[in-house]
Structure 1
Amino acid sequence: MKIIDCINCNQKLNIPENKHQLKVKCPTCSAKWLWKNESIATITCISCHQVLRIPTDKGNLKVKCPQCNSSWNFETNKSQLGDLGSHSGTAAGAIGSAENFAENVILNAERGHGFAAEKANHLYDKMRLQDAKIVGHDNQKNGADRLVDGVYIQTKYCRTGSKCVSEAFDESGYRYWNTNGTPMQLEVPSDKYEDAIKAMEERIKKGQIKGINDPSKAREIVRKGSFTYEQARNIARFGTIESLTYDAVNGIKLSGTAMGISSAISFAVRIWSGEEWEVALKSACYDGLKTGGIAWISSIITAQAGRTGIEQSLRGTTDWIVKQVGHKASAWIANGVRSGNNIYGAAASNYVSKLLRGNIVTGAITTLVISSVDFARLFNGKISGAQAFKNVTKTAAGVAGGTGGWMGGAAAGAALGSAIPGIGTAIGGVVGGIIGGLAGGATATKATSLLLDEFIEDDANKMLEIVKSVFGELAFDYLLSQNEAEKVIEKFKKIDIPDFLREMHASKNRKEFTAQKFTPWIEEEVKKREKVKLPSEKAIAKYTGLLIEELTEAQPA
């Protein structure tokens, strides 16, 4: 038995310690609550991912899965870290998606296709392993938009080639120059390139580019972009093939980061728990692929949302929140999360407000992606509405906690890293983000779980109670021996129990569903019984007489 305190009057109560959770009612004050046994943990098999329950207070355990017979060493005091890799990986993906959302908002502007062209050409150059950077965020007058292999580029995507060229001139002549006095390259749509060349040649002939007199130099100044004008316009639009393709490719790096963080943490935890190297690596890769896949899908949906008007509807709320935080704290967060030169004042506040809007949208979308399986099971009747609500709420808490933890941890890590020689703000920010994501996601999920457990009992526990009741009735009807009952239970353990319980929940008659599953197993065991030959009437009469004689002799005189 285990002794616990009443949550209301602190009365000492005795309860069975082998229960995973139990509805408790205090006999003194009548308080009711759902007690959860913290000394029992739920884990998944390293091979088949069957759900198992193990004690957490026994130190190192040798675990054997009843379904696939896989065996491994498990250190229970470290088992609590099992899901932390996914918390950090999901948080990293959410932060990346939030930044993508914030960056894509500008694509919804009147000249959004120009920014789309800049981003798409940059991504294309990165994929070709060129040293490419976007440098136009500083809004420097007549500055470059991009830097590729040391070459500064100004991107102009207009309806005609001549319009692309004219946009690069003002009353004083060509506007874009390198620091060495040479003209900066002008990037134009691939389908407008030849027209742009002709227009630039005419400008050179008219002496409108200082120091350039040879019209053939136009081909050195005008750079052929990797995308057409219409492709750039479609990349800036919501729901087009081009924009979805761009977001899918752009999300690969983000999902790779999430997958790498999740896999690394999962692998380390499993090695610490005593798993063999190959087993730990296999499980870590599975965890990483799952987290990376969620991050990738979420990034595509979030980036698409950035092209809609949803950002404007959230602006007032996030601006107010950032105003309450203040410029100093905003700068601390902004410079910890972003890369590049530090920003302060209004610039930092605007950045954090924009990032916060992205986090709100990303958090909702990531929760929906992770919870899609729960919604499908709800629609199919395999889980209840209460269970779906509980699962989705815990997921949302984990995503929000992990994302908030990453931001706070990244800011703190960047500040600490800047003060330590050899570390720097970039490394400090990443390490701080990982640690913050770990703590924030795990803490939020556990706190939400404890709160919801007080009000909502898991469907699995309800279904298992029905299983126990039905099996007890069948065992009585078939007069099962203890050995026969244990063999039937072993068969039950070898099936996919979570799937069975979901199918059971969806059935019209759960008791009948359970009986139909167990009856063939029971009958199989019953058939193995030794056939009993009934005694003859003569033998019955003889032994009945002997019994009567024994009873008579046993009576006191």
Structure 2
Amino acid sequence: MKIKKLVVSFVCMSMIVFNFSTCVDAKKTDSTDQQITLGEKCGYLTGNYLTDKRVHEQRKFTWGKSGKGYVAEQANNLSDRLHGKKAVIIGNDNVLNGADRSVINRDGTKVLIQDKYYSTANNSVNAAFDSETGMYKYTYGKNDQPMILEIPKGQGKKAIEIMEDKIKNGFVKGINDPNEAKNLIKEGVYTFDQAKQIAKFGNIDSLKYDAKNGTIIALGSMGLSFTLDFASEMIAGNNWQDSLEKAGKNALKSGVGVGTVYVLSSQLAKAKVNTIFTPTSEKIANLLGNNLSNKIVTHFGEYGQTCTVNAVSTILQHQFLTETVALVVFTVPDVVELFSGRISSKQLLINLAILIGGSAGATLGMIAGSYVGPVGSIAGGLGGGYIGSYTSKTLLTTVFKEDADEMYDIIKKQYSKVSQKYLVSQKEADEITDSLSKQLSTDTLKSMYESKDRTKFANKLIRGEFKNQINKRKKIEIPTQEQVRKKYKNDLGNGIYIH
């Protein structure tokens, strides 16, 4: 038992370290091949988020007798999706006698499904009928059309016979023909025993189910990773072939990582390893309060929770199991450091002092010079401006330091904020910063100083610099599926068939 606990703890810690390392590596700015790219980062973070949601949903698998019903919903829904149907779980709204699943078939027909998974066909079918009136409970629409009843694989024949008797006795509203029983009964993809196994840790059925889910999540992350990295490579000036190759490799790395994290997270959650985080999650949930907790719970697809703080605590436990802190990253590596390296607080201070000091000196000089006529006014203005600028350089630390520091902080924060919304290369970032530096050496700085809303002024100025840079780009077209397939088929020397 001690060995088993040790193994579980090791796997759990390995997974957390993996997630943490992806976030830490996201801040690296070296030029080696080991650098985590933007696409990979987004792939990992998206995959972890989807893993959190899916693992949280699967906590219901261990809810006593009802757990197998939840397994049936999820597992059969997954099977329908893998077979090209648009299948959605809709039972989370907890509507009385509402459907568990909605499925749109390839021919466009839509069906509502209620899952009942019991050890015998008799129990599975009877669970769908009201214990007092004996009537079939699961209907929809104005005409009370009956929903499809999905039961464990292997119970179909017996279940149809039972449903035929129910119809004969008038217990299915709107259905009089017993032959319709075969249209109301649907065998699930999994047996009752398989449903039990899926809910448990460390068996073949459970691992196969998690692997399928992990593949779906991984593919979604790979698509995002590929698109972002391909665009990044093209923006950086690389050719189409190289961009396609690098983006594909990065997407594959992201997909493998996300898929592995999902399987490990799901398996460990089934082993209830997440409960080790209970003390921490409860404290955090209590700090959040009911209002924020309710928003988080709703975001994760839960409805009708009577104790939202407890619900959030459970969500946090699953998040702690699959990920650590997601660091805020810029689209440009170390963009704030780049800004600080090009535009210093000291230089901004000098520029501001010269502008404001020069302006003030010029005004005073012109007033004084006007007493001796127009020529004196002009001369006084020029002389006052020169003296004012000279004086401001020597007195800037005492006169303008607070204003300059405040403006520098505003500009730096807005630069950081705007940079997060744009995907720019290192070269583009250099050009943006150089252009902005020149802007801040002109009367623009004075206008900002005199502005009623300096933050808004800085944001508009910086956003304009980014937009100007973006407008210089050539249009990028993401490769088609056929182009990607052809590229990798050729690279692999037809050794592997990609379909």
CA 1:125–1:276 in 2, change beyond 3 Å: closer, same or farther? same
The question of 1:126 aligning with 2:114 is answered no
The answer to whether the 8 A contact 2:144-2:173 is kept is no
Partner of 2:122: 162
Structure 2 unaligned segments of length 5 or more: list them: 1-27, 105-109, 331-416, 424-499
Aligned mates of 1:292, 1:115 — CA distance in 2: 27
| Bigger strand fraction | 1
Displacement after TM superposition at 1:193 (Å): 0.8
The question of 1:108 aligning with 2:78 is answered no
Partner of 2:175: 212
The answer to whether the 8 A contact 2:94-2:303 is kept is no
Displacement after TM superposition at 1:158 (Å): 0.7
TM-score, with normalisation over the residues of structure 1? 0.49
The answer to whether the 8 A contact 1:327-1:344 is kept is no
Displacement after TM superposition at 1:42 (Å): 2.7
Partner of 2:317: 357
**Sequence identity of aligned pairs in percent?**
33
Give the one of 198, 202, 215 matched to 1:239: 202
Partner of 1:98: 52
Partner of 2:326: 401
The answer to whether the 8 A contact 1:91-1:403 is kept is no
Q: Deviations over 1:283-323 (max 9, x none)?
A: 11111111110000110111112212223443443233122
The answer to whether the 8 A contact 1:88-1:402 is kept is no
The answer to whether the 8 A contact 2:93-2:304 is kept is no
The question of 1:141 aligning with 2:66 is answered no
Partner of 1:176: 138
CA 1:137–1:353 in 2, change beyond 3 Å: closer, same or farther? same
The answer to whether the 8 A contact 2:168-2:176 is kept is yes
Local SS of the residue matching 1:132: strand
The answer to whether the 8 A contact 2:92-2:303 is kept is no
Displacement after TM superposition at 1:265 (Å): 2.4
The question of 1:266 aligning with 2:267 is answered no
Q: Deviations over 1:486-537 (max 9, x none)?
A: xxxxxxxxxxxxxxxxxxxxxxxxxxxxxxxxxxxxxxxxxxxxxxxxxxxx
Aligned mates of 2:226, 2:92 — CA distance in 1: 33
Structure 1 unaligned segments of length 5 or more: list them: 1-39, 52-80, 364-398, 406-431, 439-557
Local SS of the residue matching 2:85: coil
The answer to whether the 8 A contact 2:121-2:151 is kept is yes
Give the one of 30, 34, 43 matched to 1:89: 43
CA 1:332–1:110 in 2, change beyond 3 Å: closer, same or farther? closer
Q: State the AA in 2 paired with 1:177.
A: T
Greater displacement, 273-282 / 304-313: 304-313
CA 1:191–1:296 in 2, change beyond 3 Å: closer, same or farther? same
Greater displacement, 186-195 / 225-234: 225-234
The equivalences for 1:18-57 within 5 A come to 42-44=30-32, 49=33
Q: State the AA in 1 paired with 2:137.
A: R
CA 1:345–1:239 in 2, change beyond 3 Å: closer, same or farther? closer
Q: State the AA in 2 paired with 1:168.
A: A
Aligned mates of 2:70, 2:305 — CA distance in 1: 25
Q: State the AA in 1 paired with 2:44.
A: T
Partner of 1:248: 211
Q: Deviations over 1:22-46 (max 9, x none)?
A: xxxxxxxxxxxxxxxxxx96312xx
The answer to whether the 8 A contact 1:82-1:269 is kept is no
CA 1:260–1:346 in 2, change beyond 3 Å: closer, same or farther? farther
Q: Deviations over 1:198-226 (max 9, x none)?
A: 11122223332234333222112212222
The answer to whether the 8 A contact 2:278-2:317 is kept is yes
Local SS of the residue matching 1:326: helix
Q: State the AA in 1 paired with 2:288.
A: V
Aligned mates of 1:333, 1:326 — CA distance in 2: 11
Partner of 1:395: none
CA 1:216–1:278 in 2, change beyond 3 Å: closer, same or farther? same
The question of 1:275 aligning with 2:251 is answered no
The equivalences for 1:311-330 within 5 A come to 311-330=274-293
Displacement after TM superposition at 1:194 (Å): 0.8
| Cα root mean square deviation, aligned | 2.9
Local SS of the residue matching 1:291: helix
Aligned mates of 1:272, 1:331 — CA distance in 2: 42
Aligned mates of 2:175, 2:42 — CA distance in 1: 55
In our comparison, the structure showing a higher alpha carbon Rg is: 1
CA 1:344–1:219 in 2, change beyond 3 Å: closer, same or farther? closer
CA 1:103–1:400 in 2, change beyond 3 Å: closer, same or farther? same
Local SS of the residue matching 1:133: strand
| Bigger helix fraction | 2
Q: State the AA in 1 paired with 2:53.
A: E
The answer to whether the 8 A contact 1:207-1:213 is kept is yes
Q: State the AA in 2 paired with 1:237.
A: K
Q: State the AA in 2 paired with 1:176.
A: Y
